[in-house]
Structure 1
């Protein structure tokens, strides 16, 4: 996980990212994948570590992200590789404000 730098920027509203949903957004010029895992929002770099394929073009079943290109799988809560297990998604600090804004710090 990337360390927070204090440069929080609004990515979208939590009302627009339902539980079990994912969305590709751009934050400060970086492509970010937001996922809502049982009400907990996570932010990752929107590319598979295998061949940089956009993850928002894959599938998300509420728990597992699957790259649409070569079917690599990742635990959506931690970013840890499931298949193969020796990889990990690059994560960004993410939080939801009391007013419902999803903030991401891409550094």
Structure 2
């Protein structure tokens, strides 16, 4: 994976407890902001590749809209079931801008 970071969004445009999908290097990426931290994940549910942006985020739990799989967005680990995990991407905030390295 290419570790070149691309600016994608002003951190102020991603409110606490929210998620947003963005394109990075031809890849759809889901950004989430929980407990002041921004994290980036591949926007496809690892179960059946359903777009995670169609799901719901409550607290730190993301629920896929397709089969109701749940994930802890702080870690990307599956909650139910526990063996299905999100694909995390390198993400950072630099000077108020969210940057993601998503490869291509």
How many positions carry a matched residue from both structures?
103
CA RMSD of aligned residues (A): 1.0
CA distance in 2, matches of 1:97, 1:54: 27
The 5-angstrom pairing of residues 28-107 of structure 1 reads 28-98=25-95, 100-107=96-103
What are the ranges of 5 or more consecutive residues in structure 2 without an aligned counterpart?
A: none
Counterpart contact for 1:36–1:62, Cα < 8 Å: no
Equivalence for 1:20: 17
CA distance in 2, matches of 1:69, 1:75: 17
How high is the TM-score relative to the length of structure 1? 0.92
1:47-80 superposed Cα distances (whole Å, 9 cap, x missing partner): 1011100000000012000000110000010000
Q: CA deviation at 1:7?
A: 0.6
CA distance in 1, matches of 2:97, 2:16: 15
- Aligned to 1:106, what secondary structure does the other structure show? coil
- Aligned to 1:103, what secondary structure does the other structure show? strand
How high is the TM-score relative to the length of structure 2? 0.95
More strand per residue: 1 or 2?
Answer: 2
CA distance in 1, matches of 2:59, 2:23: 22
